[in-house]
Amino acid sequence: MPPIYLSESDVGRLVTIKDAMAALEALFATWGQPSTTNLPRQRAPLPGGAFNLMGAAYGAKGVHGLKAYAGVKGAQFHALLYSSLDGSLKAVIEADLFGQMRTGAASGIATRLLANAHARTLGVIGTGKQSRMKVAAVCTVRPIRQVRVFSRTAEHREAYARSLQSELGVEVVPASTAQACVAEADVVVTITKSAKPVCRAEWLAEGAHVNVAGANSDARREVDAETVLRAAVKVTDHVAQAKEEAAEFRALVAAGKLEWSAIRELGELVTGKAKGRTSPSELTLFKSLGIALEDVAFAELVYERALATGVGRPI
């Protein structure tokens, strides 16, 4: 059959954040299989930005694919899904909302595996469009009763708090400072483009879990070195990609204060090859980078839903 094109609105109608988490969890359950391959993000410089390309093969589902986008103003994201049996193109998917859901899902899985079961409060630094799905995912896996949000602009955080509270049905409170946002929070999410740490270890509550989700280059760091060093469990999507993009880890490794062997992959936690939290008082950390395998796994689910419901435009 001919390939189909799926728009942002199609994606929003076909899947939820829970669906995205289920798709990624199924992917991570196959972690380590030879037929499952992830290629770290590649960047080609452009005037005012970069062209980003990331690809992967998901052997368990018989598909491979890629996501491409230009990191410039007005960027558009597209995911391409192919059959690994005959190489044919299955779908082209508009992938902005898609990417928000995929990235949120990874943090949701990490939170389920690492955060204390009694977690009730969530602190979120960053109120951009990527933030919402992170909050939704955390609220899916833990009984969050209050969300505190912070951004540099008071009007932004206040408007965000109002809309998010209406959307999720939990109390959402704008915080006046980053420290007030994360102090005593059971789960913390950072989702910014900051070049300097926006979250410090001295602010974090005992037993907190931190999802570091906004920075994927050496030019950006969201947490200080002490946060990484204090974390009893340090996890990322894919260590090979972290070696290229995780500035918080790279700086400590270069300084001889951290070994890459201390960083575990999310798939290792899902399969039980690595241990998660062993004490309620431990600090745990997930460095979310967003990897191509997550895109391919989610694209496969979106495509199958589209076929089942007749959604999509033939190309």
The string of pLDDT tens digits covering residues 73-116 is 767 899 999 999 999 999 999 999 999 999 999 999 999 999 99
pLDDT value for 71: 75
Q: What is the 3-state secondary structure (H, E, C) of 210-275?
A: EEECCCCCCCCCCECHHHHHHCCEEEECCHHHHHHHCHHHHHHHHCCCCCHHHEEEHHHHHHCCCC
Above 80 in pLDDT, residue 255?
A: yes
Average pLDDT, the chain: 96
- 226: alpha, beta or left, given left = phi > 0 and alpha = psi -120 to 50? alpha
Q: How many residues in total does the chain contain?
A: 315
Helix (H) or strand (E) holding 56: strand 49-58
Q: What fold characterizes domain 4-99+293-314?
A: ornithine cyclodeaminase, domain 1 (3.30.1780)
C-alpha to C-alpha distance for 83 and 310, rounded to whole angstroms: 19
Checking if the pLDDT of 267 tops 90, the result is yes
**Which residue type occupies 39?**
L
Separation between Cα atoms, residue 235 and residue 282, nearest integer Å: 14
User: Does residue 144 register a pLDDT over 90?
Assistant: yes
Residue 216, pLDDT score: 80
- Is the separation of the CB atoms in 8 and 96 below 8 Å? yes
What pLDDT does residue 14 have?
99
- pLDDT at residue 261 is higher than 90: yes
Average pLDDT over residues 178-201: 97
Look up the CATH number of domain 104-290: 3.40.50.720
pLDDT digits (tens, 9 = 90+) for 157-181: 999 999 999 999 999 999 999 999 9
Contacts of 253 (CB under 8 A, 6+ apart): 259, 260
Does the pLDDT at position 249 exceed 90? yes
What span, in angstroms and rounded, lies between the C-alpha atoms of 191 and 129? Answer: 10
Average pLDDT over residues 215-224: 87
Extents of the domains making up the chain: 4-99+293-314, 104-290
Span 207-219, average pLDDT? 90
Distance of alpha carbon 77 from alpha carbon 67, whole angstroms: 7
d(CA 94, CA 196): 32
**Mean pLDDT of the 282-301 span:** 98
Low-confidence winner among 46-50, 130-134, 211-215 (lowest mean pLDDT): 46-50
pLDDT band at 49 (very low <50, low <70, confident <90, very high): confident
pLDDT value of residue 1 = 86
pLDDT band at 302 (very low <50, low <70, confident <90, very high): very high
Write the CA distances from 156 to 104, 122, 128, 220, integer angstroms.
Answer: 21, 18, 9, 22
pLDDT of residue 218: 81
pLDDT given at position 275? 95
The residue-averaged pLDDT of 274-296 equals 97
pLDDT in tens, 1-36: 899 999 999 999 999 999 999 999 999 999 989 899
| Distance of alpha carbon 119 from alpha carbon 139, whole angstroms | 10
pLDDT value at residue 288 = 97
